[in-house]
Amino acid sequence: MPAVNRGKRRLMGDINVVPYIDVMLVLLIIFMITAPLLTQGVKVDLPKAKAEPLSLQRNQDPLVLSIDARGRLYLNVGSHPREPVDDQTALIRASVALRRNPERAVLVNSDQSVSYGRVMQAMVLLQQAGAPQVGLETAAPTPPAAAGRAARP
């Protein structure tokens, strides 16, 4: 009579990857939700213009010099991008950033109430820092139908 293994189970040699896939999907969802919240910038009221978007290098954020309604400069490089900087500090930081990557796109992001002269000063400052081209950032215009609905009380 053959011996019967009662109460003993064979060991399974496979790895169960289902819990790992669940954890990975949860982390993916968390990163998808939090990534847009990590963007930093200065709140400016951009002028509306219908312009073609610039082609930027992959995995390379552009160097953005923002000008708020009071004419203060903010540069998206450095340890405190939300703090205003003077012209000389902006020139030094932009020079260092452009020396590290000369092909980096350079943009000016200005409030529409800022004078043309202040925007030109910022553009000259970026050219002095070594930017071969400086682009102006604008907001897409709102369609007339949507603008009419928003204006009504």
Domain count, the chain: 1
Per the structure block, which two tokens stand in for 69? 């309604």
Whole-number Å distance between alpha carbons of 34 and 5: 54
Residue 122 lies in a domain: yes
The pTM (predicted TM-score) of the whole model is 0.57
Residue 5 lies in a domain: no
What is residue 34's predicted lDDT score, i.e. its pLDDT? 81
Contacts 24+ apart (CB under 8 A), 74-83: 74/42, 76/40, 76/41, 81/40, 81/41, 82/40, 82/42
* CA neighbor of 47 nearest in space, from 140, 133, 149, 134: 140
Confidence of residue 73 (pLDDT cuts 50, 70, 90): very high
Residue 35 lies in a domain: no
Domain CATH code at residue 122: 3.30.420.270
Residue 121 lies in a domain: yes
More confident residue, 41 or 85: 85
For the cut 50, the answer to whether the pLDDT of residue 152 exceeds it is no
Confidence of residue 10 (pLDDT cuts 50, 70, 90): confident
Q: 104: domain range?
A: 63-136
Residue 145 lies in a domain: no
What is residue 62's predicted lDDT score, i.e. its pLDDT? 86
Residue 96 lies in a domain: yes
For 90-116, how does the pLDDT look when each residue is reduced to its tens digit (9 = 90+)?
999 999 999 998 888 899 988 889 898
Give the mean pLDDT of the chain.
79
